Amino acid sequence: MSVTDALAGWPSALDAEIAPRILIVTDHTNLARAIEHHISIIWPDATCRVHTPRISGQLHSAFTGMGFDAVVLDDAVDGGVGMSWFENLMHRPGFPPVVYLAPGDDAGLAENMRLRGAADCLVREKIDNRRLDSVLRASVLKRRQERALLRGSPRTREDSRFGGVTILGHRFARQLAAGGTSMVYLAESERAGDMVVLKVLREAADAADAHINFANFLQEYDLISKIRHPNVVRIYDLGLADDHAFISMEYFSRGDLRAQIALLDDPQAALALLLQIAHALDVVHCVGVLHRDLKPGNIMLRADGSLALIDFGLARQFNAQAQTTGIGQIFGTPYYMSPEQGHGQVLDARSDLYSLGVIFHEMLTHRKPFVAPTPLGVIYMHANAPLPLLEGELRRFQPLLDRLLAKQPENRFSSAAELAGTVDDYIKGLR
* Residues annotated as catalytic (active site), given as ranges: 293
- Do 216 and 196 form a contact (C-beta atoms < 8 A)? no
C-alpha angle 393/394/396, rounded to 5°? 90
Residue 66, SS3 per DSSP? coil
**C-alpha span between 366 and 364 (Å, rounded):** 6
Q: Which helix (H) or strand (E) holds 259?
A: helix 257-263
Question: How do strand 161-162 and strand 289-290 relate by DSSP bridges?
Answer: unpaired
Q: Which helix (H) or strand (E) holds 305?
A: none
**C-alpha span between 400 and 215 (Å, rounded):** 39
Residue 181 is classified by DSSP as S
Looking at residue 320, its amino acid is: A
Question: How do strand 244-250 and strand 289-290 relate by DSSP bridges?
Answer: unpaired
List, in order, residues 6 or more apart from 302 with CB less than 8 Å away.
Answer: 252, 253, 254, 308
| The dihedral sign for the CA sequence 186, 198, 48, 256 | negative
Q: Which helix (H) or strand (E) holds 244?
A: strand 244-250
